Structure 1
């Protein structure tokens, strides 16, 4: 083999290695950060709110989806209150300010977190 052939082979090999390295880095490197959904859900079923405590960022709209029976979503402080929700109905409320927002079902719970109750924790 001549010296020019060896140089050319080495150049092609190095170019192939560089391309392979760039491909591996591009495919396995940086993954985009997950997007933050501005909506959150609470399921109402089996005479409970699930999750019982939900933490969201300020500006998030929380939706309670009633799966069975008749229930309400009533704030301990009067900040929000749904009408009676039948199975298949939902209620939504947007939380703009940081804080703790305890709530309950007027049929199966009471203020203070007793029985059918939950809390929305809003962070900045």
Structure 2
């Protein structure tokens, strides 16, 4: 049995931006965390088939979750894009929650698990990690353009 789960649904409503969205302490720290996240993501390609991520649909964009950071924390996509959120941490579970849009929080995503969101409407979509947004400031924003 694969060690991943997928949950996806369509987003159809724009919401206001986070007031005071928090990201990693500084750009250098964020860059280092995201570089490490990318290395871990690339290593997933070497996992046995029953543990690896299934291929993403063409045009899918990835946001990685690592060390209480979404990588990248700010993303601009075109309408209709699917974003796949992938947990690349070793032990920590994360979630994806478009709280301001009134959406339900995703299930907890453990290492190598993912969740997808397809953006069907233009707008700014702030999101957060349910268990880590208050204490660790784990938040992100997706801007959907024409």
With normalisation by structure 1, the TM-score equals 0.64
Task: Give the drift of 1:62.
Answer: 0.3
Q: More strand per residue: 1 or 2?
A: 1
C-alpha contact 1:80 1:93 (8 A) present in aligned 2: no
Q: Distance in 2 between matches of 1:79 and 1:100?
A: 14
Q: Distance in 2 between matches of 1:80 and 1:107?
A: 14
In structure 2, the residue matched to 1:72 is: 95
Give the paired residue count. Answer: 85
Asked which structure has the greater RCO (Cα within 8 Å, sep 6+), the reply is 2
Deviating 4+ runs (over 4 angstroms): none
In structure 1, the residue matched to 2:124 is: 100
Which structure 1 residue ranges, 5 or more long, are not aligned? 1-36
- Bigger Rg over Cα: 1
Q: 21, 41, 45: which is aligned to 2:66?
A: 45
Which structure 2 residue ranges, 5 or more long, are not aligned? 1-57
1:60 aligned onto 2:95:
no
Q: List aligned pairs for 1:1-124, cutoff 5 A.
A: 38-68=59-89, 69-76=92-99, 77-79=101-103, 81-110=105-134, 115-124=137-146
SS in 2 for 1:38: coil
